[in-house]
Amino acid sequence: MPLSGEAIRTMNYVDDISVTLRRILAVLPSLTEEERKRVADHIKLSEPSYESVITAVTSVK
């Protein structure tokens, strides 16, 4: 079954997220330990989180 345009757009959003995560990984070595901790805390507190989206995707019926 072919994918809808909405599904393809959503997959493109996931690709955009992957690019962003690669950029974050690339800059981490240049941050101080304190900066990395603050970035980690910021990521942990962001909503929606990656985990919450995965949960929503797998539980939608």
pLDDT at position 38: 98
Contacts of 56 (CB under 8 A, 6+ apart): 48
pLDDT at position 1: 84
CA 29, CA 49: separation in Å to the nearest integer?
23
pLDDT in tens, 7-59: 999 999 999 999 999 999 999 999 999 999 999 999 999 999 999 999 999 99
pLDDT at 6 over 80: yes
pLDDT at position 11: 96
Query: Which pLDDT band holds residue 60 (cuts at 50, 70, 90)?
Result: confident
CA 22, CA 26: separation in Å to the nearest integer?
6
pLDDT at position 58: 94
